[in-house]
Amino acid sequence: MNKQENLAGYLFHEGTNFASYKYLGCTLKIVRDKYHYTFRTWAPNARAVGLISDFSGWDAPIYMSRVTPGGVWELLYISDISLEKQPYKLWIETEDGRVLKKGDPYARFSRGLADGASLIFTRSDFTWSDAAWFRHRAAVVREKNGAFIPYPINIYEVHAGSFMRHEDGRPLSYRELADTLVPYLRAMGYTHIELLPLMEHPFDASWGYQVCGFYAPTSRFGDPDDLRYFINEMHRGGIGVILDWVPAHFPRDEWGLFEFDGRPLYEYQGKDRQESRSWGTRFFDLGREEIQCFLVSSALYYLREFHVDGLRVDAVASMLYLDYDRDAGEWIPAPDGSNINPEAVAFFKKLNTAVLSEYPDVLMIAEESGSHGGITRSVSEGGLGFNMKWNMGFANDLYRYLSLDPIYRAGEHKALNFPIMYAFTEKYCLPISHDEVVHGKRSFIDKMFGSYEDKFSEARAAMLFIMTFPGKKLTFMGTEYAQFREWDYASSLEWFMLDYPMHRAFRDYVRELNMLYLSRRELHELDFDSRGFSWLLPDEAKKNSVAYRRIDTDGNSVIVVVNFSGSEQTLSLSLPRSNRLEALFMTSPGALPDSVAVERAPGGYRADVKIPSFSGAVYKEKIGKKTIKL
């Protein structure tokens, strides 16, 4: 190895090589018309390591040399022809004499599935044309007037394999997905797409969450340049791209990371942390410097090489909590006696510092189901450094509330008013996610109580509440047209439902609501700031109703009223001096008044708004033609 390679190896073992994919895996140099392929892997416990492949033979390995004390092995293979997309595996002889045939952990392409052979992919022929998008991104993901991201973020969550399929059941390719999704997302008013994990995974039913190839976009939909095309087209269409990323765990498939060199290597050594009971997977050893390089480099790889705009980091709680999915006596407390994994805390700080120092305008979104404080506080202020977090408690409480007969909802009114008590403790995204529309939890529309017609009315009111409540937004595919069937990863969404008037009308309603969210600064400028919200009626439990203001940075405001009861309700709103409320948006046009008079009342002014059952509206306060500021 030369000096540069020696330094890369040193930094890898030290835990600070955040471009380790340029050092390990398969890299190429062309020297005097010869193709010099260098293969490197980390296997410190191996007795011997070799390469088997189409181009060198599968029966006997070409042996690699150990080149660092920490266990990096290397082979230079010189070819007269390009070996791009040729398959290979790593042949590993363990200390006890067993032979393992592994995919390359740093492979940039893979056959995946049960075979797991890595594919050489050292040269991209793709030309990017998304410079205008990056100028837009830099303007959006920043602080303005004391508010962080004072712009609308409305995410459409997609599972690439089941969004839409050909008549013969084949999923759309990356390129077909781009050509289909870009016009749809633009027409519907979504600002971003979030994709369930696209990294190579053996098992379709894992939805991509059991990853073996952390640097290899799945070959199910095309090659890495096809994914580049997808992202480039999204950007050209004004749509940001967020990838689901899984640094918590990996599966036990024999070609993957599982006991890679014959012993636990990528996973924790101790049984108290090593394996997930529920998932049957292995947890990454976050205390090992080489694992930190592997994971942080993976995150940066997609940001650098694929122009991704953010990562949604899966299963953060499983990494943070030592007692996650464990019973008493099955876990060992941290040195301070708590259940918090200090190695995970240090890892997240390292990850987010590395990512956001290089890309301050990307989104690092935590899916964290616990109550750990400071998830979205900066590292310099003692937090973990994410800049957004899914508000899973908000979603779960609201779904439980909506499933109840309205006569019982008064006792669960806290689902509507309690979330504001913690809404500004983190920078929240409000998710209607894939996790909530599978495994008997029912689709979003089917969570609603009541008759077929009532479900649609309640779903419209629920969507209005979500889209006007503080926090950025995420909606799983199919929710926007009220698919009744639970999501099935193995088949297409039921797009034929749009042939039915109720479903087509619901899709049109969601589009109009999205456009309201995009166009009204009051609904997105202060999503993370208490200045952006004030209650008018927080405690109308018996009426199953709430009313509140959303406010922008200039003091402009809108009033939102929502009635989740099964009967018409009159809500009396105390207001400053004004002579009418003018409707901007209604869940049921024609059923609510376009204009509401404001009358003098003891101590001020009052507007009595009559709201039909399962309905809501957004109003502006007016004096003549003039809008009132607070």
Active site (catalytic) residues: 314, 367
Which among 433, 329, 255, 299 is positioned nearest to 21, based on CA atoms? 299
Which among 535, 440, 498, 438 is positioned nearest to 157, based on CA atoms? 438
Question: Tokens 């993901």 — which residue?
Answer: 141
What is the distance in angstroms between the CA of the first residue and the CA of the last residue of the chain? Answer: 67
For residue 472, list its beta bridge partners.
Answer: 429
Q: Read out DSSP for 343-358?
A: HHHHHHHHHHHHHHHH
Q: Enter the tokens of residue 565.
A: 């009861």
For 31, residues 6+ apart whose C-beta sits below 8 A from its C-beta are none
Q: How far apart are CA 217 and CA 431, in angstroms?
A: 25
Q: How far apart are CA 551 and CA 532, in angstroms?
A: 4
Q: How far apart are CA 459 and CA 480, in angstroms?
A: 10
- Strands 310-313, 240-245: parallel, antiparallel or unpaired by DSSP? parallel
Which among 356, 403, 375, 382 is positioned nearest to 528, based on CA atoms? 375
For the chain, what's the residue count? 630
Q: Read out DSSP for 383-439?
A: S---SEEE-HHHHHHHHHHHHS-GGGGGGGTHHHHGGGGTTTTS-EEEEE-GGGSST
For residue 34, list its beta bridge partners.
Answer: 31
For 1, residues 6+ apart whose C-beta sits below 8 A from its C-beta are 9, 67, 74
SS3 assignment, position 295: helix
Which among 334, 214, 213 is positioned nearest to 273, based on CA atoms? 334
CB 155 within 8 A of CB 149: no
Residue 140 corresponds to which amino acid? V
CB 428 within 8 A of CB 470: yes
Q: Read out DSSP for 499-555?
A: GSHHHHHHHHHHHHHHHHHHH-GGGTTTTTSGGGEEEEEEEEGGGTEEEEEEE-TTS
Q: Where are the alpha helices (DSSP H) in 160-288?
A: 174-188, 224-236, 271-274
Q: Enter the tokens of residue 504.
A: 């087509």
> How far, in Å, are 105, 227, 253 from residue 295 at the CA level?
11, 20, 19
Which among 138, 136, 37 is positioned nearest to 78, based on CA atoms? 37
CB 239 within 8 A of CB 245: no
Q: Enter the tokens of residue 428.
A: 């929240």
Question: Tokens 């712009």 — which residue?
Answer: 151
Read off the DSSP letter of residue 372. -
Read off the DSSP letter of residue 497. G
SS3 assignment, position 456: helix
